[in-house]
């Protein structure tokens, strides 16, 4: 008998550890404290993962697999993956433990020790659900001075023959991002996101999470995520049919009380295995060829999966474990309390935090240019920021969260991932949202108590990081502008920044 361990983010029948299953093999799936609390995950995230795991086990049994399922509240639950594997081995004639390599470095390091800790052989198989292996990415990266996503993305397009016309990209361009930055018009009608009723299994999980994780962040209800593969496919189809056509135009737009916008909201399904990347890519590609979605929307969506998602995973495995500790800008301030409460007069931050609290979701511009931009400008410690992003979003696993936060948002890696910091003043948020209409601060005012804090924090960030960033070729214009400011202007920027950071309790560095 082989014991085949399946993790909560490996809920796919095609996962490598489930290949060549014999009749007497057992699939082990465990809800353990070790995984639910290594950060204090959003309640809705835990409910989603546990419910998806239980539904996956049900599907496996329906297809003839033998499943050993360990629920979180099982009195005999050891609380760890190793403990559950050891328990099973102690009472069954196991000849081998078979696993698919986990998506996170900490778990891979643990699993590699099992070869000496367990009394039976352990086989670790490559996770073939991704479209580039870590070794393929390492080969691509070898010898390159800059690891830019755009060039990796082009290689992936060629490799998988996606939106290609022979050896050239369909439409003559690789990237249509310049067409995908439209601000939201007034009275834009956004279609509903996918919602599915709560069934008996999910209701049991919600009750469990309510009791077992009372002090975790986030709202547990309302709950409407898909928790099965069939539901995830319905969510994908709804996006393709109702939102893909305008996804490109408004993917960067933000509207108050519209958390979902035209985004797909399938990241949580992709990252736990209910959907596979290539099926999502082919479905969008088909929509273009059928004439139901324009090229800028389809290419932009595909780039997020085939380009960005694969790229950040490649960076993660190429640069870990050192990557986790990088802090090139020396940011040390603690995370402000309003990231947990939403209690701030900055309306954009209040909206994004409260929607994150309710939905365990925010789209990429909210994460990057509002929540992340503030953390960058204020000099918040990367450990605090990574911890927050890791626990609040239902699609967050370290392989995708860490490069996005430390690399894209905070520039803590010094430019391994991004060519420059994604810093912006209040004018960007005003352009791409209607948040400023209901804010106590004014994005048109640069200094003083009524000025948008993003305005003076932006120049304070530029000024205090000049030693590191001045030579960056993409930052030259900013430093020329800073150089033309007189002493009084620069002092006003410093004074406003210190006053504001003191008011929110993060002025003093650790």
How far apart CA 127 and CA 452 sit, in angstroms, is 46
Closest CA to 372 of 407, 340, 325, 323: 407
Tell me the C-alpha distance between 102 and 316, whole Å. Answer: 13
Spatial distance between the Cα atoms of 235 and 233, rounded to a whole number of angstroms: 5
Amino acid 301: pLDDT:
98
The interaxial angle of helices 134-141 and 310-319, nearest 10 deg, is: 80
Positive or negative, the Cα torsion across 469, 475, 477, 481? Answer: negative
Domains and CATH numbers, the chain: 2-125 (3.40.50.620), 134-191+243-319 (1.25.40.80), 338-503 (1.10.579.10)
Q: Compute CA distances 192 → 196, 209, 504, whole Å.
A: 12, 27, 35
Q: Please choose, from the candidates 229, 252, 99, the residue with its C-alpha nearest in 3D space to the C-alpha of residue 183.
A: 252
Lowest-confidence segment of 71-85, 177-191, 369-383 by average pLDDT: 177-191
* Residues of the chain above pLDDT 70, percent: 99
- 151 vs 510 pLDDT, higher one: 151
The whole-number pLDDT of residue 468 equals 94
Which tens digits make up the pLDDT trace of 5-43?
999 999 999 999 999 999 899 999 999 999 999 999 999
Q: For the chain, how many residues are written?
A: 510
Please say if the pLDDT value at position 510 is more than 90.
no
pLDDT in tens, 457-491: 999 999 999 999 999 999 999 999 999 999 999 99
pLDDT tens figures, 408-459: 999 999 999 999 999 999 999 999 999 999 999 999 999 999 999 999 999 9
Assigned token pair, 488: 């009084």
What's the pTM? 0.96
Q: What are the structure tokens assigned to 67, written together?
A: 């499943």
SS (H, E, C) 329-380: CCCCECCCCHHHHCCCCCHHHHHHHHHHHHHCCCCHHHHHHHHHHHHHHHCE
Q: What's the CA gap between 322 and 281, in Å, rounded?
A: 32
- Encode pLDDT of 120-136 as tens digits: 999 999 999 999 999 99
Q: Return d(Cα 409, Cα 421) in angstroms, integer.
A: 7
pLDDT of 384 higher than 60: yes
Cβ atoms within 10 Å of 66's Cβ, excluding its own:
15
Two structure tokens written together for 4: 């085949």
* Beta-strand pair 168-169/164-165: antiparallel
With tokens 């093999």, the residue in question is: 25
**pLDDT tens, residue by residue, 271-311:** 999 999 999 999 999 999 999 999 999 999 999 999 999 99
Torsion sign across C-alpha atoms 386, 388, 391, 392: negative
List pLDDT tens digits, range 86-103: 999 999 999 999 999 999
d(CA 198, CA 325) in angstroms, rounded, equals: 40
- Judge whether 71 and 36 are in contact, CB under 8 Å: no
């Amino acid at each position: 008998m082989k014991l085949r361990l399946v993790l909560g983010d490996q809920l796919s029948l095609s996962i490598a550890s489930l290949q060549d299953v014999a009749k007497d093999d057992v699939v082990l799936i465990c809800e353990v404290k070790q995984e639910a609390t290594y950060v204090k995950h959003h309640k809705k995230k835990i409910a989603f993962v546990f419910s998806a795991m239980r539904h996956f086990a049900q599907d496996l049994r329906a297809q003839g697999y033998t499943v050993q399922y360990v629920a979180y509240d099982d009195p005999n639950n050891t609380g760890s993956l190793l403990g559950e594997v050891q328990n099973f081995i102690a009472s069954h004639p196991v000849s081998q433990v078979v696993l698919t390599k986990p998506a996170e470095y900490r778990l891979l390091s643990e699993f590699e020790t099992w070869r000496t800790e367990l009394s039976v052989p352990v086989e670790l198989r490559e996770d073939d659900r991704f479209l580039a292996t870590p070794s393929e990415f390492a080969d691509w990266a070898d010898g390159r001075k800059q690891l830019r996503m755009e060039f990796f993305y082009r290689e992936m397009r060629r490799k998988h023959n996606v939106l290609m016309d022979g050896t050239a990209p369909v439409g003559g361009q690789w990237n249509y991002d310049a067409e995908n930055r439209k601000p939201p018009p007034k009275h834009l009608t956004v279609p509903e996101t996918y919602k599915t009723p709560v069934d008996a299994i999910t209701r049991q999980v919600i009750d469990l999470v309510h009791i077992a994780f009372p002090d975790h962040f986030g709202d547990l209800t309302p709950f409407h995520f898909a928790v099965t593969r069939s539901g995830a496919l319905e969510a994908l189809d709804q996006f393709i049919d109702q939102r893909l056509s305008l996804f490109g135009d408004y993917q960067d737009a933000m509207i108050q009380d519209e958390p979902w916008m035209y985004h797909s909201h399938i990241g949580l399904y992709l990252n736990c295995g209910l959907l596979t990347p290539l099926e999502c890519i082919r479905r969008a590609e088909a929509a273009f060829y059928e004439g139901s979605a324009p090229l800028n929307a389809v290419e932009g969506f595909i780039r997020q999966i085939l380009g960005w998602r694969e790229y950040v995973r490649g960076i993660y495995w190429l640069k870990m474990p050192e990557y986790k500790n990088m802090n090139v800008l020396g940011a040390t301030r603690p995370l402000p309390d309003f990231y947990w409460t939403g209690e701030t007069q900055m309306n954009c931050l209040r909206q994004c935090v409260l929607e994150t609290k309710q939905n365990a979701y925010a789209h990429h511009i909210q994460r990057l240019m509002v929540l992340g931009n503030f953390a960058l400008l204020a000099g918040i410690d990367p450990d605090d920021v990574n911890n927050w992003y890791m626990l609040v979003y239902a699609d967050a696993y370290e392989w995708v969260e860490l490069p996005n936060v430390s690399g894209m948002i905070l520039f803590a890696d010094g430019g391994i991932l991004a060519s420059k910091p994604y810093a912006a003043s209040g004018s960007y948020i005003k352009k791409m949202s209607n948040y400023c209409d209901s804010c106590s601060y004014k994005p048109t005012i640069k200094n003083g108590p009524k000025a948008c804090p993003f305005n003076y924090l932006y120049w304070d960030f530029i000024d205090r990081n000049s030693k590191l960033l001045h030579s960056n070729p993409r930052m030259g214009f900013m430093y020329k502008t800073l150089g033309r400011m007189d002493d009084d202007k620069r002092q006003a920027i410093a004074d406003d920044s210190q006053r504001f950071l003191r008011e929110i309790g993060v002025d003093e560095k650790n």
